[in-house]
Amino acid sequence: MSEILAKAQCPYCGVGCGLEIFKDRKGRTKIRGDKKHPATSGDLCLKPVPYPKVMDIGRVPSPLYRENKKEQFREISWEEAFDIISEKLTHNKPDENYFYISGQLTTEDSYVINKFVKGFIRTNNIDANSRLCMASAVMGYKLSFGSDGVPGSYEDIDDSDAFVFAGSNAAWTHPVLFKRVLKRKKEYPETRIIVIDPVKTATADKADIWIDIKPGTDTVLFNSVLYLLNKKGWLDYGFIKEHTENFEDAIDEAERYPPDIAAQICGIKESHIYKLAEIYAFSKKLISFWTMGLNQSSNGTMKNISLINLHLATGRINEKGCPFSLTGQPNAMGGREVGYLVNGLPGYRDVRNKEDRDFMERFWKIHEGSIKEKPGVTAVEAVERMIDGDIKLFWIVCTNPAVTMPNLNKFWKALRNTFVIVQDAYLTDSVDYANLVLPATQWGEKEGVMTGSDRTITYNGIFRDPPPQCKHDWEIFCEVAKRLGWEEHFSYKSSKEIFDEYKKTTKGRLCDISDFSYEDLPKRWGERWLYRDKKFPTPSGKAKFNRAVFKEPEDRVKYPYSFILTTGRTKKQWHTMTRTGKSLELLRDEAEPYILINEKDAFELGIVDNDYINVRSKRGQIYIKTKVGSIRRGVLFAPFGYGKIYHFPTNILVSDAVDPISKEPELKFSSVYMKARKKR
């Protein structure tokens, strides 16, 4: 018999698989799926399996400090570290501080940090790496339904007969979810899978139709589908009349894109637009899944809205379908629930709303007016302010922006110009730019909850003692708060105390978990269908069509920058590889980054597999190994997660243009120039 040490949610992608951590007969710590988990029933993919073997590699050995970044770090005590931070925070004006946190933190961590920053430091300059990932989806949902949150659940997969994957390589990035889709197709062969992606991904390999769209043009495609649905009368008029508003506005914009024009802009077959319209019109039940291909764009919010418009036009909510945005991180949903972005407050509240501010000020027992009304500066916008010296302290928690931010040369310059704190379990690339490094505990060494993509909250148990030098993320902030005189507000003794405080803020809200306890998790908040009676949390109670306006990407494809670079993940690595990159099993075949080039493009340029080429954009250059394969002509793909030890991070090349509404950067469209490094 194996001894179960703990149950938890997987610390990687947002599918949120339930895991069991156990000791095998030889006393080794192992991981398997938790068959009793309501969302994933024991399924898991390769990524978390080697986790126990790599946990101790590359840990931060102690608090580390250097005043000058050209010097070596020296080990210091926690006391000294807290004194340094307290001195900086006391000296700086509130908005001169910036906090960049993560969808990998527990909900309790995010709640405490958000309370510390917005309620007590009195700045809204706190953003999370969800800004690079989910911000456009959040805006899409809010503008369409009045609230963030996926309207359906994983059970909806089991009776759907059509799946549209837009800008999502779920076969690699959300494998357990994709496996469930394939199971449905096997059981019900009439099921259709459509993949919209310029790369012939592993997901596209399984599709009935692969639409190899030109990057950046999805808004045009979805507008054109709406155009056809309207022209053919393939609409759910009852749903539109009863449950939506502003239909005419959306149609007015869609009218600009008849299929012949849209096919030209998107670089696809006109017949594919007709096919897509038929599938939205006539499937029994249809789910649209999407991730970064839509979100990471300077037109990202509009891409989200144009896709959701199709669901509203065909009544594809609840029993007939779901617009299902997939999250990239394990607790991006939980972070959004506690309001960890620049405008958020706990329980899906917003700093711009006076009632919400008043509630939180009373709840946190702070003076009226403590919480600022104006949202903070978003993460990509903060870079300029760091360069200008307006932001003087940049505190990174549990994420590695020195690899993931766009336009890295510029971001590295900003980091060099700022006092940087890195709070992490591992010595990441971001540590290279730090003045102060704080060793934190990680998954398996601390308790707390996380919310997966379908709103299921899972309790993460502890299965091993943390290294003695580490503190929990929430604990570090509580210690600093005490030194700043806020002890009575941050006197938590355990994660459970924080959870019990946070959950009270959700009472009566859409994400109400006020009657949840650690003991009854895992459990989903909200019903299986979030808007069960098709009543939406908007002023009118109706969902809203929005005008989805297409805008060309910021970078222009113009000689010499004649190729479009898009980025993403590999099959077995996760984010910046701080854990998966230390596993030999997971590194097999993925030990080095690569750039994927279309066969004909490669032939014309005299490039073959495993060449090393120089790729340049207006922002910098990298050298990278080539892979010749199936991708749209004129488009290149490279994974973003490989840091400096693997040569050059891809995001050196990448555009830092942002979506005007969500402020999410355009990580999926950068115009680049490439040439072979050596003549063969």
Residue 225: its H or E element: helix 218-232
Contact 615, 674 (CB under 8 A): yes
How far is Cα 254 from Cα 550, in angstroms, rounded to an integer? 10
How far is Cα 294 from Cα 134, in angstroms, rounded to an integer? 10
Contact 74, 64 (CB under 8 A): yes
Q: Which of 344, 268, 281 is nearest to 311 (CA)?
A: 281
617: its two tokens: 């954009």
Region of residue 46 (left: phi > 0; alpha: psi -120 to 50; beta: else): alpha
**Looking at this protein, which amino acid is placed at residue 526?**
G
Contact 277, 225 (CB under 8 A): yes
Q: Which of 451, 423, 447 is nearest to 435 (CA)?
A: 423
Residue 86, judged by CB atoms within 10 A of its CB (0-12, 13-18, 19+), counts as middle
Closest approach of Cβ 479 to ligand SF4, in Å? 32
Closest approach of Cβ 49 to ligand SF4, in Å? 8
How far is Cα 607 from Cα 601, in angstroms, rounded to an integer? 8
Token pair 């336009």 is at which residue?
407
How far is Cα 437 from Cα 460, in angstroms, rounded to an integer? 25
Contact 464, 614 (CB under 8 A): no
Integer angstrom CA distances of residue 584 from 425, 573, 588: 20, 11, 6
Nearer to ligand SF4, 299 or 570 (CB): 570
Q: Within 10 A of 610 (CB to CB), how many other CB atoms are there?
A: 11
How far is Cα 221 from Cα 107, in angstroms, rounded to an integer? 37
Helix axes 218-232, 247-254, angle to 10 degrees: 110
The DSSP secondary-structure symbol of 443 reads B
Residue 544 DSSP SS3: strand
Positive or negative, the CA dihedral 646, 652, 653, 659 is positive
Q: Which residues bind ligand SF4 (CB under 6 A)?
A: 10, 12-13, 15-17, 44-45, 47-48, 174-176
List of residues 6+ apart from 330 with CB closer than 8 A? 9, 10, 11, 12, 13, 14, 16, 103, 104, 450, 452
Nearer to ligand SF4, 165 or 411 (CB): 165
Over 284-336, what HEC string results? CCEEEEECHHHHCCCCHHHHHHHHHHHHHHCCCCECCEEEEECCCCCCHHHHH
How far is Cα 152 from Cα 166, in angstroms, rounded to an integer? 17
Q: List, in sequence order, every residue forming a beta bridge with 637; answer none if it has no partner.
A: 566, 596
